[in-house]
Amino acid sequence: MTLSTAMTENLVCTEIAGRSVRELAEKYGTPTYVYDAEKIVQQIERLRSFDVIRYAQKANSNLAVLDLMRRLGVVVDAVSVGEIYRAHRAGFPYKAGENDPAPIVYTADIFDREALDWIEKHRVHPNLGSPDMIDQFGERCPGRDVTLRINPGFGHGHSQKTNTGGASSKHGIWHEDLDDCLARAAKYDLTISGLHMHIGSGTDFEHLAQVCQAMEEMALRVGPQLKTISAGGGLPTPYRNEDEEIDIERYYALWDATRQRLATEFEHPLSLEIEPGRYPVAQAGFLIAEIRAIKTMGENLFYLLDAGFNNLARPILYGAYHPMSVAHRVPRESAKTQEVVVGGPLCESGDIFTQTDGGLVVRRNLPVAEVGDFVVIGGAGAYGFVMGSNYNSKPFAAEVLLDQDGDHLVRQREPVSDLCRLESIPVRQ
């Protein structure tokens, strides 16, 4: 069985996009992230109705993924100097050609000093998420175009931690402060060419739909200087068999109607952007790990992997569910399964992939396996590698991209010797 396109939970998974899991694991070692380029392409194609697809690279900023996006005509969002740097390394120019969308937009709620320097120097288009950002940018770069990110006063996400709207969220300019912000922008002769809202990650259609109305109200207050409206990201993707795919065309129709009304009012066309992170890449990514120990703790049977929350933090952070399968090193006839807890190598009890929000350890029905077999964790292409860490001095995993030309190592496994590369012991007299 193959885990190539759908997020179907095949409990035994011998192939990813037609490549043998065992061979990938033997060639690249474990833990290794594997990305199916074809799936990324498919997901992007589903979003083509939008004028501009702006990939939120925070979800997966490997250069090879960014390069693929660029070749697909997708532009990017960046939230840090590091992400601007990555985008540029992957071939995105810093600033737009005439009438093109900004290839890179910097979206944040603060400018650290380095970011402000880069944005001034390279003329990267900023999406300003606080009144202070308007002042700081205006002083340095008067007369330029900016986007304002508005917090419409409500939000929603798959977890409270990914809800980016409402009064408990630090994101965006509070909707009631818009007039003050318009005055600030005017003081520096900034043109507000874009308006942006992003209410949360992993939300649902109903909540996403509410944003259109809030956008329309805010856009009318900004007026005809607006050229672009952005629906933000937040598109959900299925992680469980029972999760439904979002109806993109229905979602587009809502936004298109909003955009058309604004265009009529402003008497010029408006560009409609979408800014997904999870949607293009989540289902394209798999984390392959090896089972290194199997042990019983009272009533629980544990499969302990060589990957932990240093590689994939979503379960410990959000109680996030990821589909899992087993790839036997030696294929088996029997499809017998058992209830297991799946954990990693780290020195914390929370290092468990099968947990719910709040840290409750749960069991998962997985094929009977032995030490040396592999577990394939699906839905790992978004917020997987990028949220990894060196905790317990574990090196970062390798990353491999699969496409029609074969399998490509797109990030080497971090060598242990690199762990101390930037450190030094004080020289003492």
Three-class SS state of 318:
helix
Q: Measured between alpha carbons, how far is 149 from 109 in angstroms, rounded to an integer?
A: 9
Q: Is 207 in the site for ligand LLP (CB under 6 A)?
A: no
Q: Is 164 in the site for ligand LLP (CB under 6 A)?
A: yes
Q: Is 22 in the site for ligand LLP (CB under 6 A)?
A: no
| Cβ-count burial 413-423 (b if 16+ within 10 Å, e if not) | bbeeeeeeeee
If you count them, how many residues does the chain have?
Answer: 429
Q: Which is nearer to ligand LLP, 277 or 285 (CB)?
A: 277
| Nearest distance from C-beta of residue 201 to ligand LLP, angstroms | 3
Before 276, cis peptide (omega within 30)? no
Q: What is the amino acid identity at position 15?
A: E
Residue among 12, 24, 56, 182 that touches ligand LLP (CB under 6 A): 56
Q: Which is nearer to ligand LLP, 235 or 369 (CB)?
A: 235
Q: Which is nearer to ligand LLP, 307 or 327 (CB)?
A: 307
Site residues (CB under 6 A) for ligand LLP, limited to 96-135: 107
| Nearest by Cα to 323 from 94, 2, 7, 60 | 7
- x/- binding map, residues 350-389, to ligand LLP, per CB under 6 A? --------------------------------xx------
Burial (CB < 10 A; 0-12, 13-18, 19+), residue 123, is middle
Q: Which is nearer to ligand LLP, 368 or 387 (CB)?
A: 387
Q: Measured between alpha carbons, how far is 274 from 277 in angstroms, rounded to an integer?
A: 10
Q: Is 60 in the site for ligand LLP (CB under 6 A)?
A: no
> Which region among 16-24, 52-60, 210-218, 358-366 touches ligand LLP (by CB under 6 A)?
52-60
Q: Which is nearer to ligand LLP, 235 or 262 (CB)?
A: 235
Q: Which is nearer to ligand LLP, 24 or 146 (CB)?
A: 146
How wide is the angle at C-alpha 318 spanned by C-alphas 316 and 323, nearest 5°? Answer: 80
Q: Is 68 in the site for ligand LLP (CB under 6 A)?
A: no
Place of tokens 């490997």: 62
> Which region among 187-195, 272-280, 334-342, 416-424 touches ligand LLP (by CB under 6 A)?
272-280
Q: Which is nearer to ligand LLP, 14 or 147 (CB)?
A: 147
Q: Measured between alpha carbons, how far is 192 from 144 in angstroms, rounded to an integer?
A: 9
Contact 105, 124 (CB under 8 A): yes
Q: Is 232 in the site for ligand LLP (CB under 6 A)?
A: yes
> Which region among 195-203, 293-301, 359-367, 417-425 touches ligand LLP (by CB under 6 A)?
195-203
Catalytic residue among 141, 181, 212, 347: 347
Q: Is 235 in the site for ligand LLP (CB under 6 A)?
A: yes
| Nearest distance from C-beta of residue 331 to ligand LLP, angstroms | 33
Q: Is 33 in the site for ligand LLP (CB under 6 A)?
A: no
Told to judge if 212 belongs to the known catalytic residues of this protein, a careful annotator would answer no
Crossing angle of helices 178-187/205-222, nearest 10°? Answer: 50
Residue among 24, 59, 287, 341 that touches ligand LLP (CB under 6 A): 59
Residue among 162, 193, 228, 271 that touches ligand LLP (CB under 6 A): 162
| Nearest by Cα to 303 from 231, 354, 249, 356 | 354
Q: Is 279 in the site for ligand LLP (CB under 6 A)?
A: yes
DSSP secondary structure string for all residues of 257-315? HHHHHHHHHHTS--EEEE--SHHHHGGGEEEEEEEEEEEEETTEEEEEES--TTT--HH
Q: Is 201 in the site for ligand LLP (CB under 6 A)?
A: yes
Per-residue CA distances from 119 to 57, 73, 95, 203, 251 (Å): 18, 23, 10, 31, 33
Q: Which is nearer to ligand LLP, 320 or 376 (CB)?
A: 320
Residue count, binding to ligand LLP (CB under 6 A): 22
| Nearest by Cα to 119 from 132, 99, 133 | 133
Contact 239, 321 (CB under 8 A): yes
Residues that bind ligand LLP (CB under 6 A): 56, 58-59, 77, 107, 162, 164, 198, 201-202, 232-235, 275-279, 314, 382-383
Catalytic residue positions? Answer: 347
